[in-house]
């Protein structure tokens, strides 16, 4: 089964100088494969000078927009994002996997909820999809977005957010916090830190009424916001994260495995189920489950290979693995046996994993 589908680029436009919004049309009858949930992302692959790169970009369209759209911000020196910003054109074909990710909550049309979103820079893309979908499909719910950027010129989707405020009169509140541009209200200038959040909760946001908070942005900002939300009384289950990149090595330390990888004690037998077929492979314990699958010509899904995106998620059915980094799975997924296979190393002589569950 082909995991990647062809998508034709039907529109490319700049939302700010350094970011493009790309509209895509699935080809070859693949439209159903791209029926996304708000807040999910697409993983693209492209060959750069003989090397395949895979990069994930969150869908910024709402469910009712009737389009598939991503926003790509150029990262200084970044291979894929620079190419997309400088060379991608209408009519080009991109290849992407079906939407993935669990950065969303279920929509319930009858309910009246208060949502709070925090976005930093390009982290607004999944939050935009969530807020558009939620406001359209939960008519009694409201959304407050705290949106952090360097300056006015770097605010992605600024006009669209203004239009949405008019469309959903009184139900969408956007607070722009700008790092370097001074604003009338001093609190709205600077970085979004734990302390600034505490002040926002004191003066501008009724945190007691918030049901769910969504956070997507640079990692230090996310950690500060999460700490402030917890201090203000939100539980972990009320806080949803989406991380784009991590500088951290991960929460867990990897155990040292003997250097004699060829010794049978350091080998594992892994039964790996993918697309309905199970293949049993023998692999050193210091090779990740994902690499064991890839080295044995299995087309296992992956993108970042850094424990950030969750594209490589699989379920451990038997045996034990050690996940050395996890910036993507939620605690409930881990307790159900899900792991990031790019970060998981076998501890037992036999493991059974399933990518299909
Ligand atoms: C689930 C998920 C969703 C994502 N959604 C979006 C999205 O909607 N829009 C978007 O623009 N990006 C998004 N990203 C980030 C995106 O996948 C790429 O990481 C980013 O575009 C950089 O790729 P690149 O090939 O241009 O840079 P690379 O060539 O991979 O990296 C170049 C340099 O930039 C650093 N770097 C990598 N990523 C970032 C970053 N995000 N910020 C700062 N420095 C970085 C690297 O450490 C490296 O030093 C998402 C990532 C994930 C995991
Ligand atoms: S490939 Fe991204 S978490 Fe494993």
If you write DSSP's letter for every residue of 211-238 in order, what string do you get?
-EEEEES-HHHHHHHHHHHHHTT--GGG
Domain for residue 107, yes or no?
Answer: no
Is 301 within a domain? yes
For 275-295, letters b (16+ CB in 10 Å) and e give eeeeeebebbbbbbbbbbbbe
The answer to whether position 104 is within a domain reads no
Closest Cα partner for 200 from 145, 251, 239, 150?
A: 145
In this structure, the dihedral spanned by the alpha carbons of residues 156, 202, 133 and 306, taken in order and rounded to 10 degrees, is 60
Q: What is the DSSP letter of 109?
A: T
Same domain? 271 vs 240: no
My answer on whether 124 and 184 are in the same domain is: yes
**Cβ contacts of residue 263 below 8 Å, gap of 6+?**
none
Same domain, 119 and 236: yes
* 33 contacts 7 by C-beta, under 8 angstroms: no
Residue 311 burial (C-beta neighbours within 10 Å; 0-12, 13-18, 19+): buried
Pairwise CA distance, residues 306 & 302, whole Å: 10
Q: For a pocket test of ligand 2, which of 52, 294, 310, 353 has the largest count of ligand atoms closer than 8 A to its C-beta?
A: 310
CATH of the domain at 301: 3.10.20.30
Q: Please report the atom of ligand 2 found closest to the CA of residue 302.
A: 1
| Same-domain status, 195 and 266 | no
Minimal CA–CA distance to 79: which of 114, 48, 50, 113?
48
DSSP string for residues in 197-212:
HHHHHHHT--GGG--E
In a domain, 109, yes or no: no
33: how many CB neighbours lie within 10 A of its CB? Answer: 16
Q: Are residues 184 and 92 part of one domain?
A: no
Joined together, the tokens standing for residue 160 give 């669209």
Ligand 2 centre and the CA of 304: distance in Å? 5
Pair 14, 72 in one domain: yes
The reply to whether 160 and 234 lie within a common domain is yes
- Residue ending a domain, among 197, 215, 245, is 245
Domain assignment present for 101: no
CB of residue 312 inside a 6 A radius of ligand 2: yes
Q: 350 and 311, same structural domain?
A: yes
Ligand nearest the Cα of residue 324 is 2
Q: pTM for this one?
A: 0.92
Enter the DSSP assignment of 85.
H
Q: How far apart are the C-alpha atoms of 133 and 66, rounded to whole Å?
A: 11
Q: Do both 88 and 121 map to the same domain?
A: no
What's the rounded Cα separation, in Å, for the pair 244 and 217?
7
Which one of the ligands is nearest to 126 CA?
A: 1
Q: To test the ligand 2 pocket, which listed residue (312, 324, 338) has its Cβ within 8 A of the most ligand atoms?
A: 312
pLDDT of residue 255: 47
Closest ligand 1 atom, residue 121 Cα:
11
Same structural domain for residues 280 and 339? yes
Q: How far is ligand 2, taken at its centre, from the CA of residue 244, in Å?
A: 11
Nearest CA to ligand 2 atom 3: 307
Give the pLDDT of residue 262: 57
Does 70 fall in a domain? Answer: yes
Q: What is the pLDDT of residue 151?
A: 96
Q: Locate the ligand 1 atom nearest the alpha carbon of residue 70 and give its number.
A: 8
Instruction: Assess whether 71 and 11 both reside in one domain.
Output: yes
Which tens digits make up the pLDDT trace of 129-175? 999 999 999 999 999 999 999 999 999 999 999 999 999 999 999 99
Q: Which CATH number fits the domain that encloses residue 189? A: 3.40.50.80
What mean pLDDT, rounded, does the chain reach? Answer: 93
Among residues 200, 217, 245, the one where a domain terminates is 245
Instruction: State residue 246's pLDDT score.
Output: 77
CA distance linking residue 149 with residue 175, whole number of Å? 11
C-alpha 16 to ligand 1 mean position (Å): 17
Counting DSSP H helices and E strands in the chain, the numbers are 7, 18
Q: What share of the chain is helix, strand, coil (3-state, %, to 5)?
A: 25, 35, 40
Domain count, the chain: 3
State residue 3's pLDDT score.
85
Is there a domain that residue 102 lies in?
Answer: no
290 near 312, Cβ under 8 Å?
Answer: yes
Ligand 1-lining residues (CB < 6 angstroms): 41, 55-58, 70-73, 75, 77-82, 122, 125, 244-245, 304, 308-309
Q: What is the pLDDT of residue 2?
A: 43
CATH code of the domain containing 59 = 2.40.30.10
Contacts of 317 (CB under 8 A, 6+ apart): 337, 352, 353, 354
User: Which residue segment(s) compose the domain that 281 sits in?
Assistant: 259-354
Residue 287 shares a structural domain with residue 338: yes
Ligand 1 atom nearest to 218, measured from its CA: 42
> In this structure, are residues 338 and 312 in contact, taking their beta carbons and an 8 Å threshold?
no
- Provide the angle, in degrees to the nearest 10, between the axes of the packed helices 219-231 and 194-203: 40
Strand 338-340, strand 313-318: pairing: antiparallel
Residue 108 lies in a domain: no
Of 193, 218, 245, the residue that ends a domain is 245
Going from the Cα of 255 to the center of ligand 2, the distance in angstroms, rounded, reads: 20
Measured in Å, residue 248 CA sits from the centre of ligand 1 at 15
Residues in the chain with pLDDT values less than 50: 1-2, 250-258
Ligand 2 centroid to residue 132 C-alpha, Å: 27
So what's the pLDDT on residue 249? Answer: 52
Residue of 36, 57, 121 to mutate, ligand 1, most atoms within 8 A of C-beta = 57
């Amino acid at each position: 089964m082909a995991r990647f589908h062809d998508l034709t680029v039907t529109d490319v436009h700049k939302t700010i100088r350094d970011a493009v919004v790309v509209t895509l049309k699935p080809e070859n009858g693949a439209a159903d494969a791209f029926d996304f949930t708000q807040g999910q992302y697409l993983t693209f692959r492209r060959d750069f000078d003989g090397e395949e790169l895979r990069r994930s970009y969150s869908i910024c369209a709402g469910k009712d927009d009737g389009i598939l759209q991503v926003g790509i911000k150029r990262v200084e020196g970044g291979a894929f994002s620079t190419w997309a910003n400088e060379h991608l054109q209408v009519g080009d074909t991109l290849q992407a996997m079906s939407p993935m990710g669990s950065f969303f909550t279920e929509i319930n049309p009858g309910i009246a909820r208060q949502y709070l979103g925090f976005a930093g820079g390009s982290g607004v893309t999944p939050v935009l999809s969530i807020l558009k979908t939620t406001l359209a499909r939960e008519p009694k719910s409201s959304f407050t977005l705290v949106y952090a950027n360097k300056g006015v010129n770097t605010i992605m989707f600024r006009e669209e957010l203004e239009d949405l405020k008019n469309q959903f009169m009184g139900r969408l509140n956007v607070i722009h916090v700008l790092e370097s541009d001074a604003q009338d209200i001093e609190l709205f200038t600077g970085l979004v830190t734990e302390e600034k959040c505490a002040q926002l909760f004191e003066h501008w946001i009724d945190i007691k009424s918030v049901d769910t908070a969504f956070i997507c942005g640079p990692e230090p900002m996310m950690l500060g916001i999460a700490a402030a939300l917890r201090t203000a009384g939100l539980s972990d289950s009320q806080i949803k994260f989406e991380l784009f990149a991590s500088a951290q090595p991960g929460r867990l330390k990897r155990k040292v495995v003997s250097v004699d990888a060829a010794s049978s004690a350091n080998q594992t037998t892994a039964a790996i189920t993918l697309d309905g077929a199970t293949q049993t492979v023998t692999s050193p314990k210091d090779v990740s489950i994902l690499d064991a699958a890839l080295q044995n010509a299995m087309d296992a899904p992956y993108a970042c290979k850094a424990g950030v995106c969750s594209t490589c998620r699989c379920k451990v059915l038997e045996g034990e693995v050690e996940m050395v980094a996890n910036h993507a799975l939620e605690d409930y997924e881990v307790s159900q046996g899900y792991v990031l296979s790019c970060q998981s190393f076998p501890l037992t002589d036999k493991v059974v994993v399933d990518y299909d569950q």
